[in-house]
Amino acid sequence: MKTVITSKGDSFDSPLDPRFGRCAWFCLYDEQTGEAEFMKNDSVDVAGGAGTRTAEKMIEWNVKKVISGDYGPKAKDLLDRFNVQLVIMKNEDKTVGEIVGKLKERSGD
Amino acid sequence: MSYKIAIASGKGGTGKTTVAVNLYNVIAKYHEQDVLLVDCDVEEPNDLLFFSGAKRLDGEVVSHRVPELDLDRCTFCRKCSEYCEFNAITVIPPVKFAAVNPDLCHSCGACLYACKDHALVEKRVGIGELTRYDIGLGAGLVEGKMNVGLALQTPVIRYIKDKTRDFNGIALYDAPPGTSCSVVSTVADSDYVILVTEPTPFGLHDLRLAAGIAREMGKPFGVVVNKTGIGNNDLYEYLEQEGIALLAGIPFKKEYAEKYAGGALLSDAYGEYEAFFKTIANNILKSKGL
């Protein structure tokens, strides 16, 4: 199963980016293979519709779970429609590496 | 003859509406020309609040064209979505999903040009209202109001201005606050711009921006300083340095604020207040021979 964590940078040391649609990077983590890949978000600076653009990407990549700080209503509607699980992280100090570590622990249980 | 005056400010809360409604009142009372008030602050029009005896005459729905998708024809090629500057069309080819988001659509028509499969058809969607009121004196009030939750101020403003374009007399356009597109579309095709400000650092900061717009658009303009006696002298120094006309200074008084909050027209309530607006009207209109 594929999970996306919104990230402020392109490494595991980067903190979670709390904005879904306008996050700087995506960490695409595959629970089956345990591999993680960082991808730049090209919707950061669009004038409007960043949320739906980013949600579109999640569905195209067949992502089943997104971990971020907040989601706008339009992005949420679209992701809900395709049964993508939305996780809201209130603790913004967590790094992407720590979040991936937690996901690994859980899948190991 | 027709003469159009836009009332703008930059900073919100400086007194655009106060100037618009009182100037209307004074022109209606003391000038020969007919006068029309057009409330272009379509997010929160409030000129009406100051005319307690106002009677609604009629109204119109303001609409714009939004594309509708025919999914039987759509090949999910994504061309429309690539053409859309406002990301108003979502297309996800692997799951054969396509949808238009009317809230984000600016009605530009680029997607219709992009679509080679004839999967897009335009339909009209309401975005606001135009309402005409008889307010006793003068030619009345035309109010524009955008539907809540939209960000389509300019098409609503353009529509109400279009509908009042042929008014034969003096038209007063009460602009929204700020210095963005909605203000530019209110100021466009006006003959004169009144910039309302207050003598505070914030008032001056935004006046510079608003004056910049008026200059870039080639509009003659003058400044009304509202709430004089607060803040500092920087504003007056700026006006002098730039050679900007000071149309009037209206003092800050608690009793004005109280009356205003009660919905009164200050130019009816206070003789000296009426005098400020007679001065403003004369300053602008006399030079035009009006």
Task: Locate the chain B residue with the closest alpha carbon to A75.
Answer: B90
Q: What ipTM was assigned to the predicted interfaces of this complex?
A: 0.87
The parent domain of residue A15 ranges over 2-108
Task: Indicate whether B287 pLDDT > 90.
Answer: no
| pLDDT tier for residue B288 given thresholds of 50, 70 and 90 | confident
Contacts of B66 (CB under 8 A, 6+ apart): B100, B102, B105, B107, B122, B123, B124, B125
Q: Give chain B's domains with CATH numbers.
A: 3-51+135-288 (3.40.50.300), 63-126 (3.30.70.20)
Task: Indicate whether B144 pLDDT > 80.
Answer: yes
Which chain A residues are Cβ-neighbours of B93 within 8 angstroms? 60
CATH number at residue A63: 3.30.420.130
Mean pLDDT of all residues in B237-243: 97
Share of chain A residues as helix, strand and coil, in percent rounded to the nearest 5: 30, 30, 40
Please name the residues between 1 and 40 in chain A that touch chain B, using a CB distance below 8 Å: none
**Per residue, what are the HEC states of chain B?**
CCEEEEEECECCCCCHHHHHHHHHHHHHHHCCCCEEEEECCCCCCCHHHHCCCCEEEEEEEEEEEEEEECCCCCCCCCHHHHHCCCCCEEEEHHHCEEEECCCCCCCCCHHHHHCCCCCEEEEEEEEEEEEEEECCCCCEEEEEEECCCCCCHHHHHHHHHHHHCCCCCEEEEECCCECCHHHHHHHCCCCEEEEEECCCHHHHHHHHHHHHHHHHCCCCEEEEEEEECECCCHHHHHHHHHCCEEEEEEECCHHHHHHHHCCCCHHHHCHHHHHHHHHHHHHHHHHHCC
- First and final CA of chain B: distance in angstroms? 9
Q: What percent of chain A has pLDDT over 90?
A: 83
Contact A60 B93 (CB under 8 A): yes
Task: Locate the chain A residue with the closest alpha carbon to B106.
Answer: A48
A53 in contact with chain B, both atoms CB, cutoff 8 A: yes
Which chain B residues are Cβ-neighbours of A53 within 8 angstroms? 87, 90
Instruction: Count CB pairs under 8 A between chains A and B.
Output: 38
pLDDT digits (tens, 9 = 90+) for B152-202: 899 999 999 999 999 999 999 999 999 999 999 999 999 999 999 999 999
B10: left (phi over 0), alpha (psi -120 to 50) or beta: left
Contact A49 B85 (CB under 8 A): no
Mean pLDDT across chain B: 95
Q: What does residue B204 show for φ and ψ, rounded to 5 degrees?
A: -65, -45
CA distance B53 to B233: 40
Which chain A residues are Cβ-neighbours of B92 within 8 angstroms? 56, 59-60
Q: What percent of chain B has pLDDT over 70?
A: 100
Task: Locate the chain A residue with the closest alpha carbon to B87.
Answer: A49
- Say what the pLDDT of residue A108 is: 65
Task: Indicate whether A109 pLDDT > 70.
Answer: no
Number of domains in chain A: 1
pLDDT digits (tens, 9 = 90+) for A31-73: 899 999 999 999 999 988 999 999 999 999 999 999 999 999 9
Crossing angle (nearest 10°) for helices A50-60 and A73-81: 20
Torsion of CA B239, B245, B247, B253, to 10 degrees: 0
CA distance A57 to A55: 5
AA letter at B249? G
The more confident residue out of B224 and B106 is B224
CA distance B102 to B122: 11
| pLDDT tier for residue B37 given thresholds of 50, 70 and 90 | very high
